[in-house]
């Protein structure tokens, strides 16, 4: 059974569909109950047993509540998809400290705590899958405006790679999935839909279904990191090899296009 966070929309819902198609039963979590229940009904019709547990992962107790509830229901988690996430682009000083704390909790602390809670049983059973949805942003130079987003995703990539190495040979696969621009609710939630749609042509956008399929296959193949899309891989390669001065210039252009800073 796979636990998927942020399953009420976008990449998380797409990952739930891919898992169900591959025969997994699912535990779906996010804050909004209605889209989770609608997805659960859809996946049940495909034959997947689905459980919905609503949680706000910005609450420090949420990962532990999820774990306790799953134990109480005697469900066995051998797949963990840490996908929930969001960004804010108004700039560091214009963003409430509580929002910064929530970003760190939802996209960094919660994934690590959930992995720490569920991985021991996976190792004991000799089978498990941990797929952490990071971002191309985690491989790019620092950006202004959404100042913490890239570093949080960079941390998640490195932590996933470290855990991947540690669990090699145990039957537990660990992969960081690093999507570039993906058509989901993400840019509606952070209020940048119009900016990003006019700044970036249609060919730079991928569907959530494609990203989910690439992520699932990479985790099955036990690749430590996967970045869907040739252009995204070129950008990540450039960022790795450019000196900082040039890399920051490259990203400065991106910030200007998005009218940040
Ligand atoms: N879209 C992109 O261009 C893109 C690119 C790179 C990486 N990503 C990453 O992909 C992941 C999925 O994003 P998406 O594009 O699918 O965005 P999305 O459509 O906005 O979905 C985000 C999901 O995260 C959940 N979520 C947000 N805050 C939460 C909280 N406090 N507690 C629990 N769940 C929470 C949302 O559910 P509720 O609102 O119901 O809680 C929703 O299910 C994120 O980690 C994002 O950083 C996205």
Say whether 149 is catalytic. Answer: yes
Find the catalytic residue in 64, 149, 181, 216.
149
pLDDT above 60 for 261: no
Q: Is the CB of 77 under 6 A from ligand 1?
A: no
Position 143 scores a pLDDT of 86
**pLDDT tens column, 43-84:** 999 999 999 999 999 999 999 999 999 999 999 999 999 999
Phi, psi at 52, each rounded to 5°? -110, 125
Q: Is the CB of 145 under 6 A from ligand 1?
A: no
- Rounding to the nearest 10 degrees, give the CA dihedral for residues 258, 8, 68, 109: -10
Q: Is the CB of 32 under 6 A from ligand 1?
A: yes
Q: In this structure, which residue's CA is closest to atom 44 in ligand 1?
A: 85
Q: Is the CB of 84 under 6 A from ligand 1?
A: yes
- What is the mean predicted confidence (pLDDT) over 24-36? 98
Domains defined along the chain, listed by start: 2-257 (3.40.50.720)
Confidence bin at 259 (pLDDT 50/70/90): low
């Amino acid at each position: 059974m796979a636990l998927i966070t942020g399953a009420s929309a976008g990449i998380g819902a797409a990952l739930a569909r891919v898992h169900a198609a591959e025969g997994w039963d699912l535990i779906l979590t996010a804050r909004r109950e209605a889209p989770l229940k609608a997805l659960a009904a859809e996946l049940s019709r495909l034959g997947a047993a689905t459980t919905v547990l609503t949680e706000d992962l910005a609450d420090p107790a949420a990962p532990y509540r999820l774990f306790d509830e799953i134990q109480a229901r005697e469900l066995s988690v051998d797949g963990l998809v840490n996908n929930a996430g969001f960004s804010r682009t108004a700039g560091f000083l214009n963003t409430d400290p509580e929002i910064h704390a929530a970003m760190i909790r939802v996209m960094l602390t919660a994934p690590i705590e959930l992995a720490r809670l569920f991985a021991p049983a996976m190792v004991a059973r000799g089978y498990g899958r941990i797929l952490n949805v990071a971002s191309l942003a985690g491989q790019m130079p620092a950006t202004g405006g959404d100042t913490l987003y890239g570093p949080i995703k960079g941390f998640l990539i490195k932590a996933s790679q470290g855990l991947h190495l540690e669990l090699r040979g145990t039957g537990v696969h660990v992969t960081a999935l690093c999507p570039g621009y993906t058509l989901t609710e993400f840019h509606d939630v952070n209020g940048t839909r119009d900016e990003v749609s006019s700044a970036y042509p249609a060919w730079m956008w991928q569907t959530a279904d494609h990203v989910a399929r690439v992520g699932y296959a990479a985790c099955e193949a036990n690749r430590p990191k996967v970045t869907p899309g040739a252009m995204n891989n070129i950008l990540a390669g450039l960022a790795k090899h450019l000196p900082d001065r040039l890399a920051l210039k490259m990203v400065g252009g991106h910030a200007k296009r998005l009218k940040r800073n």
